[in-house]
Structure 1
């Protein structure tokens, strides 16, 4: 299962993201991402370049709350050349923006709302969304499992697993303990993101950011 470290806190890219990235270089992380809010487009461009120069897969997660801004973020993702675009719900329009590029798309199933984003929707909806997204040509989905407020998070993971079948299931948000990582693995997730839990020190209390990331890596 892949650990995707997000240079984000409370669904925003941290202002010192470039400096933090340099701090964690020795860890050799293979999957690193950021959000579409918190810093300007030029910083996102530089950040993406540096992540890829390190040999890691780069991720941009869209958390913009309006259709226009979400599609604008998808355009930024294509322009700066991220490897994987996460989030958003306007699947057809986003796939059209990404057409002809090398960017893989993983939209949000269910009903995401607000910022920081919460997830509405039940198992049937999530499974149906996942199946439809894969049929449209998405590489997988980005499920906000532990942000769910209308269903059991792990039931949603299992439903998403059924819907995506052999494609990639990433779980984002609220992954703040070894127990949750183990539960996601058992339920069928292929990867998970951690941002705030590492920056806030909640994953491994008392540890530095580097210590937090080492503790997460030890789980995978």
Structure 2
């Protein structure tokens, strides 16, 4: 659905953005670097070779929702130690995006980041993009009590923490399945269809209000109409 086919968005008071593969291109593939470090972390913890470690990591992800959740449940892993380790990656793949900085600055109302990562990592990424001071808050995995998106309770808690009216909020996210709880709360939803979503979006189509291949272009079109 294009901006021109959408209803008036003048009612939006809070603009909420996922971080990874939403505020920067999926082609950066930072998760590949994080994934390597997660496998290495599991290998050191369990004491096994990389092939076994990767199988364990993926099993934890499948059975517990995230690798971290599995590590916490089965090994009592300190989440801050884990997140600090796996997010210790080079960010040279992420480039300054002046057009995105400008577009977000032109949005009326509040702006927040809602991420399954942690604040330290998110801030580093935002600084690289040029968005280091563009957001009121970063609601991260620690604030979610380690219950990540798409758990519905995490969305409700985020809205309560920052006094957000879901009916006056828009949530932009590259994973279509993560839009369902937002839509259930009454948010307007934007799916960044940039190839990062591995599953089909058909199941989640009813929860998608807008689709865009590039967030920057979509926002420039939108803010141009708002002007």
Would you call these one fold, judging by a TM-score over 0.5?
no
Computing the radius of gyration over CA atoms, which structure comes out larger, 1 or 2? 2
Query: More helix per residue: 1 or 2?
Result: 2
TM-score norm. by structure 2 comes to 0.31
With CA pairs under 8 Å and 6+ residues apart, which has the higher RCO, 1 or 2?
2
TM-score norm. by structure 1 comes to 0.32
Query: More strand per residue: 1 or 2?
Result: 1
